Amino acid sequence: EAGVAQSPRYKIIEKRQSVAFWCNPISGHATLYWYQQILGQGPKLLIQFQNNGVVDDSQLPKDRFSAERLKGVDSTLKIQPAKLEDSAVYLCASSLSSWNTEAFFGQGTRLTVV
Amino acid sequence: GNSVTQMEGPVTLSEEAFLTINCTYTATGYPSLFWYVQYPGEGLQLLLKATKADDKGSNKGFEATYRKETTSFHLEKGSVQVSDSAVYFCALSSSSNTGKLIFGQGTTLQVKP
């Protein structure tokens, strides 16, 4: 069974530039999560989708971050404009449903903002 | 609000030593508790879980018991191997079952031959 796919693996951008990350969850998984993991900290949820609807985006900095999951399958997370403090690993995860909390994680995208 | 606190790392052990990584939590209701592991260069993987008080999760020789009276979920292994070197994250999912995971800060384990 294919796992959660993320791209790119690494990205370096200058502050004030924009960047987008892509995630393809495990086939059949209705719930998709984006987490931000700052160095030395545990992952923090940014946004959760159930199919193509948003369940929780309370921790998403909406002035600069946006995410979509238009067809209820793959998802894109965008940052515009980026700040230095956005340097982190962005993890995508999926689960069968929000009630089945065994989440499977991708390898993440490491973003460095300079 | 809900939170998870793990012991500070790094933890350095010799092969075959006994491992304990402490984890305590703050939550309302009856959360589910998890340990995730992140090997170098890989994504987070679920190691074990427990969904109610006094449950014991176990996998690959690791164990953790859900202790509601002490709000703890300590990870243990009787004999660690070099291949266990990784970062370990304790996490909870609230009793409202939204699926959202709240993680501790992670504990790095280094096992030396």
Residue to test with chain B: of A37, A99, A101, most B Cβ within 10 A: A101
Contact predicate A113/A14, CB 8 Å = yes
Question: How far is A106 from B6, CA to CA, in rounded Å?
Answer: 23
Q: Which residue of A has its CA nearest to B49?
A: A102
Interface contact flag, B103 A33, Cβ < 8 Å: no
pLDDT given for residue B95 in this prediction: 67
More confident site: B10 or A102 = B10
Work out the number of other CB atoms within 10 angstroms of the CB of residue A27: 9
* Chain A with chain B: Cβ pairs closer than 8 A: 65
Q: What is the pLDDT of residues A2-29, one digit of tens each?
A: 899 999 999 999 999 999 999 999 999 9
Categorise residue B63: left if φ over 0, alpha if ψ from -120 to 50, beta otherwise. Answer: beta
Q: For B62-111, what is each residue's pLDDT tens digit?
A: 999 999 999 999 999 999 999 999 999 999 998 666 788 999 999 999 99
Of all residues in chain A, the one with the smallest CA distance to B100 is A45
* Strands A75-79 and A109-113, bridge-based pairing: unpaired
Cβ within 8 Å of A, B 55-74? none
Task: Please give the pLDDT value at position A2.
Answer: 80
Structure confidence at residue A100 as a pLDDT band (50, 70, 90): low
Cα separation, A11 vs B51, in Å, equals: 37
* pLDDT per position as a tens digit, A83-99: 999 999 999 999 987 76
Percent of chain B residues past pLDDT 90, beyond the cut: 82
Supply the pLDDT for residue A1. Answer: 63
Q: For residue A33, what pLDDT is reported?
A: 96
Q: What is the pLDDT of residues A47-65, one digit of tens each?
A: 999 998 999 999 999 999 9
Closest CA to A71 of A95, A53, A57, A48: A53
